[in-house]
Amino acid sequence: MGSSCCSLEQADSSNKPEVIQFSHGFALLNDGRIDDVYDVSKTKLGEGAFGGVYLATHKDTKAVRAVKTTSRMALGGEAVEESKTLRRLNHPNVIRLYETFQDAKCVYLVLEACTGGELLDRIMEETRSVRWTEHKAATYFKQVLSAVHYMHMNGIVHRDMRPENCILQDKSPEAEVKIIDFNSACSFEHGKPLTEKVGSPYYIAPEVIAGSYGPKYDIWSCGVVLYIMLSGAPPFVGDNDASILESVKRGEVGFEGASWSPISQDAKALVQSMLT
């Protein structure tokens, strides 16, 4: 992996970079009906407990977009907060929000359409065909860290960095990574720790379990993602959520087994530094 990834350790917000706050948004807020502007198809790109993501075509420009629908009764508030976060962001590796709509039942986020699937699926596919290499992992991971660094520079912590939230622009070999799902994201200020326990057991950081954390939470989660990208398995495991969390708190990271034998010491050192 070498310098292409190691140089990105600067994304660790422990260095307390200056937070740059934008006063403007990058997306439109619409009062009208989404059906007046877009033809929303039944082609589903993704699905959640309280909504789905569908392909849609702008009636005038014919631009193809993805429309994320969320029930207002179930998670409408979170969808509105997600839209507020995305309106502040404009980065090639962060999913682009174009505009939002609301009606009595749902909140609709109009996003760039990504058809390449989850990064983890690409990794599994290329691993089976022996095309997955440390260099490819570095190429993808550099994009992930670039997005996280940008978010932190703009005062936003994602709080749910995991492979399922890293998708690909399209199915081409050179497809860019896009970070998605900002439902758990929030603003932060240096020196003012966050306390809400948010995240997934495999990817949660020990300081989150302890109830006092900051943007470095994302760095830990990215370290778990990189471990999985290089080995195909998570670093912290257990029979249930409680045992996984105990493993996380112990923080013992191993690099044994055949999957780690071809991995460079630089790559292992990067993983170790992110999970410390």
Which residues are annotated as catalytic?
160
Question: For the purposes of burial, counting CB atoms within 10 Å of the CB of 4, is it exposed (0-12), middle (13-18) or buried (19 or more)?
Answer: middle
- Check if the beta carbon of residue 119 is closer than 8 Å to that of residue 163: yes
- Tokens 């780690």 label which residue? 260
Pick the closest to residue 152 from 21, 272, 5 (CA basis).
21
68 in a known ligand binding site: yes
Q: What is the CA radius of gyration of the chain?
A: 19
Angle between helices 134-153 and 216-231 (to 10 degrees): 170
User: CA 155, 166, 118: angle at the middle one, nearest 5?
Assistant: 165
Cβ pair 10, 149 in contact under 8 A: yes
Using CB atoms within 10 Å of the CB of residue 255, give its burial: 0 to 12 exposed, 13 to 18 middle, 19+ buried: middle
Q: Which two tokens stand for residue 31?
A: 């009062």
In the three-class reduction of DSSP (H, G, I as helix; E, B as strand; rest coil), residue 102 is classed as strand
Q: Which residues contact 84 (CB under 8 A, 6 or more apart)?
A: none
Number of Cβ atoms within 10 Å of the Cβ of 275: 22
Q: Quick one: tokens of 105?
A: 């039942």
Question: Do 69 and 54 meet the contact criterion of CB atoms below 8 Å apart?
Answer: yes
Per the annotation, binding residues are 68
Binding region for ATP:
68
